[in-house]
Chain A
Amino acid sequence: MTMKERTHALRMLGPEPVEITLHINGHVSPLLLDPRTSLLDALREHLNLTGTKKGCDQGTCGACTVWIDRRRVLACLTLAITCEGHEVTTIEDLAQGTELHPMQRAFLAHDAFQCGYCTPGQIMSAVALLEEGHASSDAEISEWMSGNLCRCAAYPNIRAAIREVRDAGGGNHHAAD
């Protein structure tokens, strides 16, 4: 018995633009997208959520780190169309109104950036890091933040910011395990 005897091929969508619905930062966003569109481009070019940055666009720098279903992932290597049915969270959703997330405040307090381009990704990664429970030492923080490169080399200050939030009890009112 072969598979072909039992099932039919599924209908393919595209390659012309496809109507999809994304759930981003608690909002429902209907979009007409080329199936090739990355989540990163959908956020920046179609939804004007430009907080998430495009660094390498090939999964090596971490500047595009967002959460899908509360897990940190890379938006550049994720096709937007695959995110239907999942909850996407970006840096824009971290503050509550005008009140910055404790990690954002700590990055300011510790001068944890220079040019700032990698910072949204660093912060999204750092909040998730604390939720994952991998920040017990500087060595562990370095290892579990290694997916976020900082060409200005603000690493000591990034670690200091993460330590502060960790020692203050996390303040993770958004990320879950």
Chain B
Amino acid sequence: MRPISYTRATDVASAITTVSADPQRAFLAGGTTEIDLLRLNVVQPSGLVDINLLPLKQIEELADGGLRIGALARMSDVAQAPAVAERFPMIAQALVLGASPQLRHMASMGGNLLQRVRCSYFRDTHSPCNKREPGSGCAALEGINRGHAILGTSEQCIATHPSDLAVALVALDAIVHTEGPKGKRAIAIDDFFLLPGDTPYREHPLDHGELIVAIEIPVLPFARRSFYIKVRDRSSYEFALVSIATALRIEGGVISEVRLALGGVATKPWRARRAEQILVGAPAERASFVQAAREELAAAVPRRFNAFKVELAERTIVRALETATMMGGTA
């Protein structure tokens, strides 16, 4: 770990100015990814601007039924906030199924979106990795790729996006609010996560010095019966092999609205838009779910060790939609 300088910001504007002043500076929030990667020399900022004192921790209940969650609210606090559990249970569930209790006390909502991939080749500075060292190659393509992605991959990178929270947020069309050297902007969550393509080192559209200040979740009444399911190698404290965030609205036995997003299988939190197209207007029954799952996974590019994820994802989608239907998707 190279030497670092440090300062503690107490207002958003000076935090942004201080990071913007030097391309080698970075914000420090919960630190659960950043300190780890600093120690591994995977990221090497020369200065950290501690933003933990910024007033960005509130969970605001919007009058129309939405929520606005401060970027520095901790995962554990958001998970147990009654308004989150009532309005968007899939968010509370995704949070509680992520990391460990200690890490959830530390990790912030904004930091969760910016966490880095857990690809072991990305973390190992002796391995080629196009994300860490552009142009060096991808060791995962022919390597130990059991945990890697089957959707949204490229020949440059197949690292799985690790966040559970982000899967729920993508299903809910959340909005990421930022402030930066060029002012404020709002970014649709699906545009916030970039596919690796030929530029796997670009993971999000933020400028240097641009800070996430809040995450807004627009009102979605039928999300009150939404849920998140996570399939993994051990029952706790493990990343997803497949996860699903879903909400259904059923009228007269027919699906009228659906949200479906996948985690653990793609290079970004994956909104299953093809499956959603098939499901809307279809009878809420197993045959529809199976067809939707198959068509969503038709584009999958499995590798040597992760081919099992195709069937696992299909089965988990079907199970999630059956569960959502039993929970009474009628609005």
Chain A interface residues toward B at CB < 8 A? 1-4, 6-15, 18, 34-36, 38, 57-59, 62, 65, 71-74, 76-79, 81-82, 84, 125, 128-129, 132, 134, 142-144, 146-148
Which of A6, A8, A12, A147 touches B101 (beta carbons < 8 Å)? A147
The answer to whether B32 and A147 have CB atoms under 8 Å apart is no
- Identify which of B6-14, B55-63, B188-196, B250-258 touches chain A: B6-14
User: What is the distance, in angstroms, from B125's C-beta to the closest C-beta of chain A?
Assistant: 14
B52 in the interface (beta carbon within 8 A) = yes
User: What is the distance, in angstroms, from B159's C-beta to the closest C-beta of chain A?
Assistant: 18
Question: A73 CA to B52 CA in the complex, in Å?
Answer: 15
Residue of B nearest to A18 (CB): B6
B1 in the interface (beta carbon within 8 A) = yes
Residue of A nearest to B11 (CB): A7
Cβ contacts B102-113/A at 8 Å (1 or 0 each): 110110000000
The answer to whether A132 and B101 have CB atoms under 8 Å apart is yes
Q: A15 with B18: in contact, given A4-B181, A79-B31 (CB under 8 Å)? A: no
Question: A56 CA to B18 CA in the complex, in Å?
Answer: 33
The answer to whether A58 and B36 have CB atoms under 8 Å apart is yes
User: What is the distance, in angstroms, from B118's C-beta to the closest C-beta of chain A?
Assistant: 11
The answer to whether A10 and B14 have CB atoms under 8 Å apart is yes
Which of B1, B6, B9, B36 touches A13 (beta carbons < 8 Å)? B6
If A77-B32, A77-B106 are given as contacts, then 8 extra A-B residue pairs at C-beta distance below 8 Å, sorted by A number, are: A3-B16, A6-B13, A35-B48, A36-B3, A62-B102, A73-B106, A77-B35, A128-B101
* Residue from B4, B5, B102 whose CB has the most chain A CB atoms within 10 Å: B102
Which chain A residues border B40 with CB–CB below 8 Å? 58
Q: For chain B residues 2-46, which have a beta carbon within 8 Å of chain A?
A: 3-9, 11, 13-18, 20-21, 28, 31-32, 35-36, 38-40, 46
Which chain A residues border B182 with CB–CB below 8 Å? 2
The answer to whether B6 and A10 have CB atoms under 8 Å apart is no
* Residue from B6, B48, B49, B182 whose CB has the most chain A CB atoms within 10 Å: B6
B136 in the interface (beta carbon within 8 A) = no
Question: A76 CA to B76 CA in the complex, in Å?
Answer: 19
Which chain B residues border A2 with CB–CB below 8 Å? 181-183
User: What is the distance, in angstroms, from A42's C-beta to the closest C-beta of chain B?
Assistant: 13
The answer to whether A14 and B5 have CB atoms under 8 Å apart is yes
Residue of A nearest to B19 (CB): A9
The answer to whether B103 and A59 have CB atoms under 8 Å apart is yes
Question: A146 CA to B100 CA in the complex, in Å?
Answer: 6
- Size class of the contact patch on chain B: 35 or more
B277 in the interface (beta carbon within 8 A) = no
B237 in the interface (beta carbon within 8 A) = yes
Residue of B nearest to A66 (CB): B102
The answer to whether B102 and A7 have CB atoms under 8 Å apart is no
Which chain A residues border B102 with CB–CB below 8 Å? 62, 65, 72-74, 125, 147
Q: A7 with B14: in contact, given A14-B5, A146-B100 (CB under 8 Å)? A: yes
Cβ contacts B277-306/A at 8 Å (1 or 0 each): 000000000000000000000000000000
User: What is the distance, in angstroms, from B302's C-beta to the closest C-beta of chain A?
Assistant: 28
Sampled A-B contacts (5; CB under 8 Å): A3-B180, A9-B14, A12-B5, A58-B36, A81-B6
User: What is the distance, in angstroms, from A4's C-beta to the closest C-beta of chain B?
Assistant: 6
Which chain B residues border A142 with CB–CB below 8 Å? 235-236
Cβ contacts B168-189/A at 8 Å (1 or 0 each): 0000000000011111000000
Residue of A nearest to B47 (CB): A12
Q: A72 with B35: in contact, given A4-B181, A12-B5, A36-B4 (CB under 8 Å)? A: no
Which chain B residues border A1 with CB–CB below 8 Å? 183
Q: For chain B residues 101-142, which have a beta carbon within 8 Å of chain A?
A: 101-103, 105-106
B203 in the interface (beta carbon within 8 A) = no
The answer to whether B18 and A10 have CB atoms under 8 Å apart is yes
Q: Give the top 10 A-B pairs by smallest Cβ distance, nearest first.
A: A147-B100, A15-B3, A146-B236, A12-B5, A146-B237, A35-B6, A14-B5, A9-B21, A9-B18, A7-B13
Question: A94 CA to B28 CA in the complex, in Å?
Answer: 30
Residue of A nearest to B100 (CB): A147
Question: A79 CA to B3 CA in the complex, in Å?
Answer: 13
The answer to whether B17 and A38 have CB atoms under 8 Å apart is no
Question: A133 CA to B205 CA in the complex, in Å?
Answer: 40
